[in-house]
Homo-oligomer: A and B are copies of this chain.
């Protein structure tokens, strides 16, 4: 066993028959043929196939000692900076064939599983903790090249600071019973991206100031576990035509609400439960955040390159490159792109071995990137709209070009550098990227990927080592006062 290919992936997912609700109906038949999911599933197969591409196999996989089956490289626990760069290269390949559009490409969650395993000792000998289950998950995941999703966001019942979320009937998913077989979970989580489209689901505590003991758990279960339902939002696939909807026809991932209807989680799948402190520790001290950020920032860089390409091609198509304000807008994208790249590089250069001998990227530069991207991505999307201007709403369809008005379109929608059909194709891409419901969901997704931007900013402030800079001032001014920073 080891890496699978696209076909194997599809067959496995189809076989699961997960309970997925879409527009009032439970999906029946092959999920890979459903209009809302076939595009994204096909995109995923292209990722799995890439692992088997002879030209890239070496860069996409690694071998465990004494094993001869190749393993997907996103599972590699890095021990050196060289390993980190290998990981990055692999992730870049995957990101590039989906242009950074697939938020939950398999490497994201594989990386999470790898990081959990790397830090599993953190849970050793603690109450209600089962580090061995993490280890066995990690091994099974590598062996079968499993795919995962996870779900963080709790229902938006009341966002007030004072709201404690105590209600009689569970809303947020929680443990309602512990028995000899395992935990019984009831309640919901919002927003599992690709919910129902993966082999398994990881469910883990979110960091909340006052975490309820019943919500202090982490486990993984197969997507087709009894009582587990995925309720989809409206689909943002515009249609099948890749001319009309070059992105949504391929990369619409779907988000779903995950309902736990008295779901039984067997003990051998529980990482920890009923342990608020361990839950908090596991999120904050394991290498999870660091490696997840490392994967995400890498993907976001590839996506920004895609945006830069679109923006520049628009500029060339309508020949506006000479305008100072256009140059300024493109420079903004370039500055954002280079900044993200520099921060990613710094995180790798400053990487250090953690207490469990794992080579962990430096967190601060990644945290800075996570503060920057949610603000620049929406701006870059806006820049593309500003360049496209009225062209963004002059978008006839593929069928128009195959009708008797084709000649009119060819004459009136051409530009000096581009024929009408290509030009409309390009503008439809720009529209699908920034203005279709697929595009705006991408914007919202990047805006909130790392969580609430305001909390990200506060958290950076709190974590940042400031004492040394404050000392410089105290020394310069020769102040008498005694204080402690950081």
Contact = CB atoms under 8 A, between A and B. Distances in A.
Contacts of A403: 21, 24-25
Interface string A414-430: 11111100100110010
A452 B391 CA distance: 13
Contacts of A396: 231-234, 257
Contacts of A64: none
B469 A330 contact: no
A345 B343 CA distance: 9
A68 interface: no
Interface residues of A, number: 134
A310 interface: yes
The count of identical subunits is 4
A338 B364 contact: yes
A393 B479 contact: no
A183 interface: no
Given A342-B346, A346-B345, A334 B257 contact: no
Contacts of A67: none
Interface in A215-265: 229, 231-234, 244, 246, 255, 257, 259, 261
A473 B339 contact: no
B158 A469 contact: no
Interface in A433-476: 434-437, 439-441, 443-445, 447-448, 452, 454, 457-458, 460-462, 464, 466, 469-474, 476
B308 A409 contact: no
Given A339-B342, A345-B342, A458 B21 contact: no
Given A368-B339, A444-B385, A473-B313, A466 B232 contact: no
Nearest to A437: B436
A393 B229 contact: no
A397 B338 CA distance: 41
A461 B334 contact: yes
Nearest to A169: B411
Interface stretch (A51-59, A159-167, A351-359): A159-167
Given A305-B469, A382-B378, A477 B318 contact: no
Interface in A26-61: none
Contacts of A334: 368, 460-461, 464
A448 B390 contact: yes
B319 A457 contact: no
A203 B103 CA distance: 47
Nearest to A456: B331
A342 B371 contact: no
Given A305-B472, A313-B473, A422-B479, 6 more contacts: A24-B400, A246-B477, A312-B470, A313-B474, A325-B454, A418-B479
4 A-B pairs with least C-beta separation: A24-B399, A309-B469, A342-B342, A24-B403
16 contacts: A24-B401, A156-B390, A156-B394, A171-B411, A190-B412, A229-B408, A232-B396, A255-B394, A257-B409, A309-B470, A324-B325, A327-B458, A330-B461, A339-B343, A346-B346, A393-B445
